Amino acid sequence: MASDYHRPTRLPPRMFEGFLGAEDPAHLSRVAHDTAAALLSRVRSDPDPAVVARLVSYTDEHGIDAIAELWSQASAKSLPGALWRVYLLRTLIRQDPQGISLAFQRGTEVSRTIDQVVAGAPIPAGPAEVRELADQILRGLFGGDFAVALERAAAFARVVAAGFVSLADDADASDAAHPDRSGQLTQRALRLTQLADEFASCARLWRRDSLD
């Protein structure tokens, strides 16, 4: 999923300066880990609501590319990898809140797990509610229990994935005019399932103090 966001971008002043001039993969990896750790440590030590709010909405102003250039190549089981994936999930939700909320609602109907409870979204959850949930999860990374925030993200992604699978089955049976629709929905489900697995792995590592 990260490969969609590799376009060059002009980074904002005073943020992510260490990335500038980075050329080799080892240096990029070191910068990614160092900036993620420094950012998280600074904000969590003094979670000023105004600062957290700016970080949550950072990609609204600067775009996902600014973060992708720095963190998207990090391992899925790393601190920068976890931060990147939460920002990516939030971006996916904000790009298609109607579709995501529809899939989430369907997922709550077909899922037999407690994921919808863990995710913490109201039921029914419309576009505004899923957008707010994404912001809540990101705020939780900076000002709450980091592992719980990742577990909420994982649970949400699993519910939405289940919803997309169900919607794909419907499309397969009834949408002869759009034969690619089912495959597209299935692909979205697979991507979200992968994200959920990565969030869950990062949450476990964080609880063991092994996410770096």
HEC secondary structure over 138-156: HHHHHHCCHHHHHHHHHHH
Q: What is the pLDDT along the chain (212 residues), one digit of tens a residue?
A: 444 433 333 434 444 334 344 456 777 788 899 999 999 999 999 889 999 999 999 999 888 998 898 899 999 999 999 999 999 999 999 999 999 999 999 999 999 999 999 999 988 899 999 999 999 999 999 999 999 999 999 999 999 999 999 999 888 666 655 668 888 999 999 999 999 999 999 999 999 999 99
Q: What is the pLDDT of residue 178?
A: 62
Q: What is the pLDDT of residue 123?
A: 83
Determine contact, residues 145/169, Cβ cutoff 8 Å: no
- Specify the length of the chain in residues: 212
Angstrom distances, CA of residue 7 to CA of 74, 132, 141, 171, 175? 16, 28, 26, 33, 35
**Which residue type does 47 have?**
P
Rounded (5°) CA angle 6-196-181:
70
Nearest to 69 by CA among 78, 60, 59: 59
CA distance linking residue 30 with residue 21, whole number of Å: 13
**Segment holding 193, helix H or strand E:** helix 181-207
Q: For the whole model, what pTM was predicted?
A: 0.84
CA distance linking residue 212 with residue 199, whole number of Å: 14
Q: What is the pLDDT of residue 39?
A: 93
Residue-wise over 35-68: b if at least 16 C-beta within 10 A, else e? Answer: bbeebbeebeeeeeeeebeebbebbeeeebbbbb
Q: What is the pLDDT of residue 10?
A: 41
